[in-house]
Each structure stands twice: as C-alpha cells, then as structure tokens.
Amino acid sequence: MKAVRFDRFGGPEVLRLADLPDPRPGPGQIRIAVRAAGVNPSDWKKRRGLMDEGLPQTLGHEAAGVVDELGPDVTDIAVGDPVFGLSAEGAAQAELAVLSFYAPVPPSLDFATAAALPAAVETATRALDQLGVEGGSTLLVSGASGSVGSAAVQLAVARGATVIGTASPPHHACLRSVGALATAYGPGLTERVRALAPDGVDLALDVAGSGILPELVALTGAAARVLTVADFQGALTHGVRFSSGDAGRAVHALGEIGALIETGRFTPPAVRTYPLAEVAQAHRAGERGGGGGKLVLLVD
C-alpha cells in the first residue's frame, strides 16, 4: 500500500508516498480502506523532529473509510461498514489503516468531514471530563474558534454549561451560533469575562497555548480549576493540569458524537481537502495558517 512517510526531519519536502506492507489488525482492532485522513499540527511537529526521535516515521492519527478486515474478537462492526476513528499506530495517512478506536460514520456526513472529527472530539471530551464540566457550570474556553476549541464549546453547551469563548472578532458570530458567549482575547480579557459572567467563572480550558494561564487562574480562583491541552511548560510553571492522551483517551466520545450531530447539537468543522499525494502542500497550508477549515487528505 501507499502511505505518507519521511526518512529525515525537515520541511514539507521530506514527505513522500512510500510502498509499505499492508497492516493487519490485532485483537479489538479493525482495518479500513481509507477514504480520508485528518492532518493536525502534531504532524508537522513530528516532521520537524520536535516530538519523536526515531526514523523513518509515518503520519496520521485519524481517518474515515470502509472496513475491510476485522481483528480477532471484533463483533460490533462488519466488513463494508463506513467508520471513522483513531489510529494508535500513527499511520492513518495511507491507503489502508488500522483503527484501535472507531464508530460508524454519522449518516449525514461524508468521509472527509468524518475524518476531521476524531482527534478534536476526543481531545475536547477528555478535557471536559477531566475538568468536570457539567450542567450549571460556567466554562471559559481560550482559543474557541479552532477545531478543538469549537468542539469543546459545543460539547460543553450540550452538557448544559454556560460557555464563554475567546476568539478574534470575525469568529464571534460563529461562536454565538453554537451557544457561546464570545469575547476577544488580548488586553482587558479579565474585565471582559467578568462583565459576561458577573457570578464568576467556575472552570477554564486553554486550547490556544498563548500564555494566558495566569489570567485563567485568576478568573477561576484556583489552578486546580484550569486545564490546558496546549501549554505544557506553562502548566508546570503555574500548577495547572496538562491533558494529554498518555493518561487515557476519552474514546467514548467517538460513539457519542453521532447522535449530537444528527440532532443538530454539534456542527462539524468545515474541511479543506488535498489528495494524499499532495500531503506536502497540505502541510504548507497548515503551517501558514489562515484559510479556515480542517485539513483532510483524500484517498482515491
């Protein structure tokens, strides 16, 4: 099969499609013929050598496609079913991928949109679970307009929380459309948030990693009420929790998101697609920023 791989660290030019052996699913896993695979900032961090030291490396933690082989003891899905999910092997940007966690593609979604969901939905759900977000609480999400931030906003609203989201002004209308109170980041944030939440903020989630943790601690009143998924060093400095998948993933989110989508309580992100062979161009677009939409690779 063809799969994205790099044999040395560097810019997007190091990426290539390599011929690799077809993967086989283990116990509890499935293999899919990939139709679409998500691209995330961690991909270019890995490509630059900022995360994993070993070489060569494959890429891709989320994909959608059609089941073509079942691992031992898998009984909840059938060959031919459309599914989306997470690849523990980090090799989902390929013609075939093994998924360790998966769920049926929601009926209203195409493969590209489904492939944009797993990482963002799992990360957001894990953060909300660890913070203990529930009905009646007030949550501040810093960096609410990206894929993880938007997912966190919508999932918290679905739980019955009051949500304040920070984003640049062009994104405020979108945040309001999914049930959040919107405000700009930058100087004066504390005063703006207190005006929106005169009874106080119970919990805060940092998605942007923009050095905002001291303000979030001040707004909530305690470092234990703040969690970041983007600022590891800041978490150490300010005594804030840092969430990563190493402590266990919220894979239950994959099975729950479909009902929210089909009942109109969760709007998936817009996507920008590239053919698998143009993975380098997708990396360049992602690193430039702007343009909007989640990057997704399409497999013919």
Per-residue confidence (pLDDT) for residue 248, from 0 to 100: 83
Do 112 and 129 fall within a single domain? no
**Residue 256 maps to a domain:** no
Do 137 and 222 fall within a single domain? yes
Do 108 and 170 fall within a single domain? no
pLDDT in tens, 242-296: 998 776 899 999 999 999 999 999 999 999 999 999 999 999 999 998 777 899 9
Per-residue confidence (pLDDT) for residue 289, from 0 to 100: 84
CA distance 117 to 294: 9
Q: How far is CA 242 from CA 21, 119, 164, 236, in A?
A: 36, 17, 20, 8
In percent, the amount of the chain with pLDDT more than 70 equals 100
Provide the domain limits for residue 36.
Answer: 2-117+269-298
Per-residue confidence (pLDDT) for residue 81, from 0 to 100: 98
CA distance 93 to 119: 14
**Residue 130 maps to a domain:** yes
The larger pLDDT score, comparing residue 300 to residue 21, is at: 21
CATH of the domain at 240: 3.90.180.10
The answer, yes or no, to whether residue 223 has pLDDT greater than 90, is: yes
**Residue 260 maps to a domain:** no
- What is the pLDDT averaged over residues 75-81? 97
pTM of the model: 0.95
Per-residue confidence (pLDDT) for residue 268, from 0 to 100: 96
Do 220 and 294 fall within a single domain? no
Do 177 and 156 fall within a single domain? yes
Per-residue confidence (pLDDT) for residue 43, from 0 to 100: 96
The answer, yes or no, to whether residue 45 has pLDDT greater than 80, is: yes
**Residue 251 maps to a domain:** no
Mean pLDDT of the chain: 96
Do 160 and 78 fall within a single domain? no
**Residue 253 maps to a domain:** no
Per-residue confidence (pLDDT) for residue 291, from 0 to 100: 72
Q: Per-residue DSSP letters for the chain?
A: -EEEEESS-SSGGG-EEEE-PPP---TT-EEEEEEEEE--HHHHHHHTTSS---SSEE--SEEEEEEEEE-TT--SS-TT-EEEEE-TTS--SBSEEEESEEEEPPTT--HHHHHTSHHHHHHHHHHHHHHT--TT-EEEEESTTSHHHHHHHHHHHHTT-EEEEE--GGGHHHHHHTT-EEE--STTHHHHHHHH-TT---EEEE-S-SS-HHHHHHHHSSGGGEEESS-HHHHHHHT-EE--GGG---THHHHHHHHHHHTTS--PPPEEEEEGGGHHHHHHHHHH--S-SEEEEE--
pLDDT in tens, 151-182: 999 999 999 999 999 999 999 999 999 999 99
The answer, yes or no, to whether residue 57 has pLDDT greater than 80, is: yes
Do 222 and 133 fall within a single domain? yes
Number of domains in the chain: 2
**Residue 224 maps to a domain:** yes
**Residue 181 maps to a domain:** yes
**Residue 281 maps to a domain:** yes
Do 46 and 134 fall within a single domain? no
Do 55 and 15 fall within a single domain? yes
Q: How far is CA 63 from CA 18, 96, 201, 238, 244, in A?
A: 18, 10, 36, 35, 20
- What is the pLDDT averaged over residues 123-138? 97
The answer, yes or no, to whether residue 10 has pLDDT greater than 80, is: yes
Do 129 and 148 fall within a single domain? yes
Do 81 and 127 fall within a single domain? no
Do 85 and 151 fall within a single domain? no
